[in-house]
Amino acid sequence: MSERYLKKIEILERELEYINSHEITGEVTERAALYSLQIGIESGMDIIAMKIKELGLVVEDDYTNIEKLIQGNVIGLKEGALLKEFNGIRNAVVHKYNNLEMAIITEALERIAEFAEVIFKIAE
């Protein structure tokens, strides 16, 4: 595994650790959790783009890159759906901060390990 993959995995693991070891108890911890979620997902999307390039394909937007991994049998449909879901959550955090449904965010925080497992598989 290349050093570039390892750096991105390290970032994802660090954010995963933060999310798993901190409870949202107020605005500050909520913002910190949202930041960790955003950075963790972005690291995963970077790994996906790196894999697309490694496969000799053209890197495009995140959703198209995920589709390419599904079509190339790198990941299954269920894994692809999970990645797309998390990418959508990242987009919501980045672009709709004032209108976030915290129930969706809380569920994502609880399921971030599932996202990480798929990303680790892609990075192998």
SS3 28: helix
Determine which one of 4, 14, 95, 111 is catalytic.
95
Token duo for residue 88: 């959508």
Rounded Cα distance, 94 and 40, in Å: 13
Options 4, 14, 90, 111, the catalytic residue: 90
Q: Clarify whether 95 is annotated catalytic.
A: yes
Distance of CA 52 to the CA centre of its chain: 16
* In the chain, beta strands by DSSP E: none
User: CA of 87: how far to CAs of 21, 27, 103, 113, in Å?
Assistant: 23, 23, 17, 14
90 included as an active-site residue: yes
Hunting for tokens 């970077």 — which residue is that? Answer: 46
- Residues with catalytic function: 90, 95
